[in-house]
Amino acid sequence: MSIETRPRGLLAVIAIAVFGAGLGAEATAQQEAPPPVVNVLEVRDDIYMLVGQGGNITMQVGDDGILIVDTQFANMSEAIVAAIREISDEPIRYIINTHHHGDHIGGNGNLRLVGDTVIGGNMPGAVPYAEGGGAQVVSHENVLLRLSGALGGQAGDDPSLWPTNTFFNDEKQIHFNGEGVRIVHQPAAHTDGDVVVFFRQSDVIAAGDFFRTTGWPRIDLNGGGSYRGTIAALNNLVDLMIPVYGQDGGTLVIPGHGRLSGIGDVLDFREMAIVIGDRVEHMMEEGMSVEQIIAARPALDYEPVYGTPGNPEVTDQFVESVYLSLMQERD
């Protein structure tokens, strides 16, 4: 990335560790787990990436307040609030969830109550959920249907984590802090409730988990995900991005997991997913069983980049998920 196209403040990384008393019980329960640390990256003016445990958080700040995309785990909330307060004292007005997985929605109940002075959930100074009102939690309706158990899968027993404002069509739009924000459904990709969140003016996209830089695509078949939907979502993501000609820069993507990305990262990931899917499909047409396909290692040449060193089962599970998803289409 050249100096000219480097996003402002890219190197302004702040690490904040919180040893809050409110986390004492959970810290004990987790034995020697390290204290939660949240790293903050300024992506563009007023857009930040918060990296802790679980999925990445995207944050937009301004005079209207704070909008965040995803909330990591509940035990991260206090460290997340401390990191946010280094940047803005405004209340959180909107939380957008990219999908229903616990590492993206676990802090919903806490963070939706982060107003001017109070912090929510079980933390000190919290106000009860029902009284506080708090931020709107926006998602595709399938996120709520999954969390409430209506669609099967992982039913959550904590309604304070559930979205409060859902949509069932292709897209929801919010104008906030002087910026148009598009929340665009990506059907049956990583799950059936995936959305990308496109900050139009900032030219930043929070992609959720169908795009990650830390490993293979994860297709949650029980959560309504699919191989083809993952490819379609990656195609949609590429379509939304406008690169600077001949170099890095242009639209930036905050993946569900991993590092801040440009068009090259997304294109590489999409190509990998397409090539491996084509190989698996070809082997299926040859009549090979799933065991034979896994043994043939159709992801072999991509393993150094996307595999987990010392843990070949992760690659096998990915290949199996592609097979099962393609097999589902035939039924």
Q: How far is the CB of 300 from Zn ion (least distance, A)?
A: 26
* Cα 14 to Cα 194: distance, rounded to the nearest angstrom: 29
The residue (of 39 and 154) whose beta carbon lies closer to Zn ion is 154
Q: Which residue has the tokens 């690490």?
A: 15
The residue (of 266 and 283) whose beta carbon lies closer to Zn ion is 266
Q: How far is the CB of 50 from Zn ion (least distance, A)?
A: 17
The residue (of 101 and 172) whose beta carbon lies closer to Zn ion is 101
Q: How far is the CB of 189 from Zn ion (least distance, A)?
A: 10
DSSP characters for 206-248? EEEEEEESSSS----GGGT--HHHHHHHHHHHHHH--BPTTSS
For residue 296, the tally of other CB atoms under 10 A from its CB is 15
Q: How far is the CB of 7 from Zn ion (least distance, A)?
A: 26
255 in Cβ contact with 212 (< 8 Å): yes
Q: Which residue has the tokens 């990591």?
A: 72
How many residues are listed for the chain in this entry? Answer: 331
Q: How far is the CB of 72 from Zn ion (least distance, A)?
A: 12
The residue (of 222 and 328) whose beta carbon lies closer to Zn ion is 222
Strand order in the sheet with 92-96: 14-17, 37-44, 47-51, 57-62, 65-69, 92-96, 136-140, 165-167
Which positions touch Zn ion (CB under 5 A)? 101, 209
Helix axis angle, 227-240 to 263-285, nearest 10°? 150
The residue (of 101 and 270) whose beta carbon lies closer to Zn ion is 101
Q: How far is the CB of 105 from Zn ion (least distance, A)?
A: 10
47 in Cβ contact with 199 (< 8 Å): yes
97 in Cβ contact with 70 (< 8 Å): yes
The residue (of 209 and 265) whose beta carbon lies closer to Zn ion is 209
